[in-house]
Amino acid sequence: MTSYTAPAKDIQFTLETVCDWSSINALPAFEEATHDLMTAVIEEAAKLSANVIAPLNRIGDLEGSKLVDGTVKTPAGFKEAYRQYVDGGWNGLSFNPEWGGQGLPFSLALAVQETWTAANMAFSLCPMLTQGAIEALDHHGSDDLKAIYLEKLVSGEWTGTMNLTEPQAGSDVGALKTRAEPNGDGSWKISGQKIFITWGDHEMTENIVHLVLARTPGAPSGSKGISMFVVPKFLVNEDGSLGKRNDVKCVSLEHKLGIHASPTCVLQFGDEGGAIGWMVGDENRGMRNMFTMMNHARVNVGLQGVAIAERAYQQALSYARERVQSADLMQPNKGGVPIIRHADVRRMLMTMKASTEAVRALAYYNAAAVDRAHGCESDEDRAAAQGLADLLTPVTKAYATDLGVEVTSLAIQVYGGMGYIEETGVAQHFRDARIAPIYEGTNGIQAMDLVGRKLSMAGGAHWRNLFQNIRDFVADLPGSGDLGAIAPYLEDGIEALQNAAVWLSGNDASEARDTAGGAAPFLRMFGAVTGAWLLAVEAVAASKRLEDDAEDAAFLTAKIKTARFFAEQILPPATALLGPITRGSEMLYALDEEDFSA
């Protein structure tokens, strides 16, 4: 397996151009986030990811986490690497300084998160879940709960988890059965079982803070009757020290396709009378609280698609440069050449590179909208930014993770038969990537969220504003050269995307199946068109820097060529999805259930 080097140059370029870093830095909330600081943070994160976290990726895959005497033991080196991560202050980058955070933009924190995730996806899941717990407690927790837990969580000294799923419920969270009974002193007794709890137990920190969804006595059925509780692994004394072990334990670990080092736990609450917990926010408002965590997590999961694609691309590129096989078609008598000289390998590598850079731009653009929603001074600007962030979140989560799987699959294909052999290590990326389209809401759920909720927000103003921005950008592209070549493909793409959005928005409740049938291809089209546009934004910026005799002409030229490749080779198939989107659901239900086995 090749080493990992964070693509610091491309990360910084995307922050500068797609996120418009100077305008983020101009917001009062982020005035300390200068360009020099951004660059320094990325460079230091790159060092830790390459030198400390990445070398553990293969070890973690081979060893996995294990349940030993009721406690999860992580692979060799993980505990020490996590300590370096905490000691470096990395966990608190974007969080409130009141609790020890640094108050930096989410877009910068996301860029840093990319380096951890590409280096070692299983490792990165632990801080990612903690960050979601911080978001929920900071937004909805009482002052007392914040005082007890936030400083330790922000520093990373304690970690956090999300406890939603139960064996009988799956994605239908409203069907959960975990119970919460009042103790009469403000605390609650929690009993029930949760499954698929990422990093639900481990020995890397002295405490783990579980955020648990449960039902209180007399609560309404379904999702309207769910409350959220904070349930620590160890109870916390009044002086902040740790007390006795709470009544929560890991009873088993899932045996998974990938991310073997990340312990996916079955947690049992209340076997010995009830785990002690405290309500977060109002009773029966747990789903609202959890969505605070999930929306944050969904952008981070989309980033996992970016990161794992980057890691797989780097490994495939290295192999393609070294592997000698067959003659160059233009020089058939010269003997074997590195396979990177062959057209089909070039097609795969260019697809990998362009796809990875497109979803990186999409995820960072989404994160920048979150920053503006928090940092803009006017109510109107904040609302517009929040609307854009909400619109893009399901697209980022689903499109980026789908492409992450596709890119890691292509990496195996570049290797050929050697890619199917575990010793080369490239198969691990494919196995690790496959979970991302499933958790934090399957990609089908993301597509339904996009067409069922996000398109109708503010009467469709958010997607119409975005589409108009794309149209205005295309109108300003030059008529010739690489940038001119991109224009007609973007024109076709945005036209098809708008037609699809109008068609879906016009469906009523009686056409719900038609809307559902078109949801996934619509999200695919949405991601491809937006990604193509953002790559073109980068290409225009690169072209201007070349005109100004900027350094690193090779990098800038590659940005332009990559944007053109995406527009010409990847965008057209997505544009062609307009037909399937608008054909409705007739053929999806053309077979009776028994006919599927005919």
Asked if 84 and 192 sit in the same domain, the reply is no
- Residue 148 in this model has a pLDDT that exceeds 80: yes
User: Smallest Cα–Cα separation from 504: which of 427, 563, 447?
Assistant: 447
- Residue 174 in this model has a pLDDT that exceeds 70: no
* Burial of residue 255, with CB atoms counted within 10 A of its CB: 0-12 exposed, 13-18 middle, 19 or more buried: exposed
Asked if 147 and 27 sit in the same domain, the reply is yes
Q: Quick check: is 334 in a domain?
A: no
Identify the pLDDT of residue 551: 84
User: Smallest Cα–Cα separation from 283: which of 217, 226, 213?
Assistant: 226
- Start-end of H helices in 49-168: 56-63, 78-87, 106-119, 121-140, 143-155
CATH number at residue 144: 1.10.540.10
pTM exceeds 0.95 for this model: yes
- Counting residues of the chain whose pLDDT is more than 90, the rounded percentage is 92
Asked if 94 and 184 sit in the same domain, the reply is no
Query: Pick from 137, 155, 173: which residue ends a domain?
Result: 155
Identify the pLDDT of residue 427: 98
Q: Residue 280 in contact with residue 289, Cβ under 8 Å?
A: yes
Asked if 93 and 145 sit in the same domain, the reply is yes
Q: Quick check: is 320 in a domain?
A: no
- Residue 561 in this model has a pLDDT that exceeds 60: yes
User: Smallest Cα–Cα separation from 531: which of 565, 557, 579, 485?
Assistant: 565
Asked if 142 and 172 sit in the same domain, the reply is no
pLDDT band for position 550 (50/70/90)? confident
Q: Distance between CA 224 and CA 595 in Å, rounded? A: 38
**Catalytic site residue 440?**
yes
Identify the pLDDT of residue 256: 97
Mean of all residue pLDDT scores within the chain: 96
Per-residue pLDDT, averaged over 471-479, amounts to 96
The count of domains in the chain is 3
Contacts of 555 by beta carbon, 8 Å cutoff, 6+ apart: 9, 10, 13
Give the residues across from 250 on adjacent strands.
267
Per-residue pLDDT, averaged over 468-485, amounts to 96
Tokens representing 114?
A: 């990319």
Asked if 46 and 131 sit in the same domain, the reply is yes
Predicted confidence (pLDDT) per residue in 491-500, tens digit: 999 999 999 9
Identify the pLDDT of residue 168: 76
Per-residue pLDDT, averaged over 188-214, amounts to 97
Asked if 255 and 222 sit in the same domain, the reply is yes
Q: Quick check: is 295 in a domain?
A: no
Predicted confidence (pLDDT) per residue in 324-335, tens digit: 999 888 888 889
Per-residue pLDDT, averaged over 540-564, amounts to 94
> In which domain, by residue range, is 522 found?
456-588
Predicted confidence (pLDDT) per residue in 4-44, tens digit: 999 999 999 999 999 999 999 999 999 999 999 999 999 99
Tokens representing 555?
A: 């990098």
Q: Quick check: is 416 in a domain?
A: no
- Residue 294 in this model has a pLDDT that exceeds 80: no
Q: Quick check: is 252 in a domain?
A: yes
Mean pLDDT check: name the lowest of 293-302, 373-382, 448-457: 293-302
Q: Quick check: is 594 in a domain?
A: no
Q: Quick check: is 375 in a domain?
A: no
Per-residue pLDDT, averaged over 450-470, amounts to 97
Asked if 168 and 31 sit in the same domain, the reply is no
Asked if 150 and 12 sit in the same domain, the reply is yes
Q: Quick check: is 336 in a domain?
A: no
pLDDT band for position 170 (50/70/90)? low
Catalytic one of 135, 357, 440, 538:
440
- Residue 534 in this model has a pLDDT that exceeds 90: yes
CATH number at residue 164: 2.40.110.20
Query: Pick from 261, 285, 309: which residue ends a domain?
Result: 285
Query: Pick from 238, 269, 285: which residue ends a domain?
Result: 285
More confident call, 223 vs 472: 472
Q: Distance between CA 309 and CA 359 in Å, rounded? A: 10
User: Smallest Cα–Cα separation from 207: which of 155, 265, 260, 136?
Assistant: 155
Asked if 13 and 113 sit in the same domain, the reply is yes
Asked if 466 and 584 sit in the same domain, the reply is yes
Asked if 134 and 41 sit in the same domain, the reply is yes
